[in-house]
Amino acid sequence: MAKNEESNIEDSVKNLMWCDEVIVADTGSTDNTKEVARKLGASVISLPFAGFGKTRNMIVEKIQADWIICFDADEICTEELAAELKKEIALGRFQAFRAPRQTFLLGKPIKHSGWYPDLRHPVAFRKDCAKYDERNVHEALIVKGNIKTLDNRFFHYSNKTLLSYISKSIRYADMGARELAKRRGKKITRFTAVSHGVLRFLRHYFLKLGFLDGWPGLVIAATASYGTFVKYALAIEYQKEVNEN
């Protein structure tokens, strides 16, 4: 899945050319993402963005394959992980595979801060055994069967600049706030916003050893704290709208 990933899409596609087909699902790019992907030999489909979970399911439905290898446009599948995936899929013992994700921020690999190992939703799964939940953000893959965690990692280059990281945090906070506001019976207060924000900083910087990541670790903890506060603050406003309607 990609939108305005012109600067990332080439490396992402090239490192997946070992697959039978590479599909880039564009959700409204205004740059040259689609053109670059096509020149590299990838198939390109276009569809509207309807939240991360729902959009991923729409993409999966369009793919005619027994196994789906799933990476985002700002993620790079390493040669070691590709070899491990091919071997494990051929053995046929599991229905899905996770792999540790190594994220970079300010040009440095993050080794702590709750970011590594980041075992996000599986990087490979049998199409007939898996489906994403339909959350707007932080979606999960629901797998019917066994999941194995692989040894080799992949790289994540989602934040080329500090501004892009902070902006992304605010976008995710807004989507998360709208999810929270829909939950009936969950009262969100100003104290909730403040306490969750403070706890998020303590979690990333101390509990998850973010201080060992130096300046990037402090940036992660502070941005996560602010983003969490904004999410709950916005949820208070959105909850009022939901209750009024």
| pLDDT the model gives residue 82 | 98
Q: What is the pLDDT of residues 8-37, one digit of tens each?
A: 999 999 999 999 999 999 999 999 999 999
For the chain, domains (ranges, CATH) are: 9-158 (3.90.550.10), 161-244 (no CATH)
Q: What is the mean pLDDT of residues 136-149?
A: 94
Does the pLDDT of residue 184 top 90, yes or no? no
Q: What is the mean pLDDT of residues 66-95?
A: 97
Q: What is the pLDDT of residues 102-133, one digit of tens each?
A: 999 999 999 999 999 999 889 999 999 999 99
pTM of the model: 0.88
Does the pLDDT of residue 177 top 70, yes or no? yes
Q: What is the pLDDT of residues 161-175, one digit of tens each?
A: 899 999 999 999 999
| First-to-final CA distance of the chain | 33
Does the pLDDT of residue 245 top 70, yes or no? no
